[in-house]
Amino acid sequence: MNLTPADFDLFRREHYAFKQLKAELSPEQVEAIKQDYQSHWQKWKNLQLKVAADLPDELGMKKPKIEIWTNGWNVRSHFWSAYRSEHRQQENACLAVLLNQKQYQVYLMFQHYRMNERQGTPSDYNQLLDVLPQWSKQVPVEEYFIWPQKEDELADHLPLTEYLASPSLQEKFARDLQDGTFQIGKLFFKGELVGIEEQTVQALLELMPLYQALAANP
| Domains located in the chain, CATH noted | 5-213 (3.30.930.20)
Element containing residue 78 per DSSP (H, E): none
Cβ-contact 159, 217 below 8 angstroms = no
- Identify the pLDDT of residue 113: 87
DSSP, residue by residue, 2-24: -B-HHHHHTT--S--BHHHHHHH
- Identify the pLDDT of residue 216: 57
- Which of 34-38, 78-82, 118-122 has the weakest average pLDDT? 118-122
| Amino acid occupying residue 143 | E
Give the model's confidence band at 217: pLDDT under 50 very low, under 70 low, under 90 confident, else very high.
Answer: very low
Average pLDDT, the chain: 96
Can you state the percent helix, strand and coil of the chain, rounding each to 5?
50, 20, 30
Distance, in Å, from the CA atom of 47 to the CA atom of 7, rounded to the nearest integer, reads: 12
Residues 67-91 have a mean pLDDT of: 96
| Residue 19 neighbours by CB under 8 Å, 6+ apart | 73
pTM of the model: 0.95
